[in-house]
Amino acid sequence: MTIKTAKFAIGQVVRHRLFPFRGVIFDIDPQFDNTEEWYQAIPEQVRPRKDQPFYHLLAENAETEYIAYVSEQNLLADESGEPMRHPQLGDLFVRTADGSYAPRDRTRH
């Protein structure tokens, strides 16, 4: 099995190519790593391949903020420069001058 290199990076702002939401990447799986039940719940006509990176997002749309799990094929770089409002964002990241988000320094014990 060949594992692809992730196209997007932790802290990068992305948007979904089909649905009206965007988010900040906080983790990356090199290939699908969720339940089969979750995967089968996706309508077959838009179900992504499993053999690609999947991204964990601090996501938001016009109404709410949430956590999303999205395949690489369904993401595009968000170039709007608009800040994100997700309430967990400040726990994990600081906003950089270029509009992306850098992981917060964490003290390890």
How many structural domains comprise the chain?
A: 1
Give a yes or no: residue 107 inside a domain.
no
Question: Is 7 within a domain?
Answer: no
The domain in which residue 59 lies consists of: 13-95
pLDDT in tens, 10-61: 999 999 999 999 999 999 999 999 999 999 999 999 899 999 999 999 999 9
pLDDT in tens, 65-103: 999 999 999 999 999 989 999 999 999 999 988 878 999
The answer, yes or no, to whether residue 2 has pLDDT greater than 90, is no
The pLDDT value recorded for residue 107 is 57
Residue 104 included in any domain = no
Q: Name the pTM for this structure.
A: 0.90
Residue 40 within any structural domain of the chain: yes
Sign of torsion over alpha carbons 55, 30, 35, 43: positive
